[in-house]
Amino acid sequence: MPTTPDAWISTDFNGFLEPGLLCLSHEETAVDVSGRKVNLVEGMVVTAFDFDADENGRPDRILVTGTVERSPKYAQCGGSVWSVRVDAAGVQWESQL
């Protein structure tokens, strides 16, 4: 189940670094669902989202919930600072919740 909306962080779902680990930000902060900058810290539980569409082209958000952690060294050289370790629910779509 996704966390409360004020803990939703916008990110690019093309940024999976490995199975279960999604790049969250290339900075110390990230943008939340309302457009505000959020300071990221190790251990935060967030829902990361990106805009997507269903099979009929209707807008839908793709989501993962998990714990924030520093990106691994191999990803830091590409600019990744923070990642989210995806919980057991995996990738979900908002319309299916």
pLDDT digits (tens, 9 = 90+) for 26-79: 999 999 989 999 999 999 999 999 999 988 999 999 999 999 999 999 999 999
- pTM over 0.85? The answer is yes
Number of separate domains in the chain: 1
The alpha carbon dihedral of 1, 92, 26, 58 has a sign of negative
The Cα–Cα gap between 64 and 42 comes to 17
Percent helix, strand, coil in the chain, to 5, is 10, 45, 40
CA dist., res. 32 & res. 69, Å (int): 17
Q: Which domain holds residue 58?
A: 5-96
Q: What span, in angstroms and rounded, lies between the C-alpha atoms of 25 and 80?
A: 6
pLDDT for 6 beyond 80:
no
CA angle 33, 74, 28 (to 5 degrees): 35
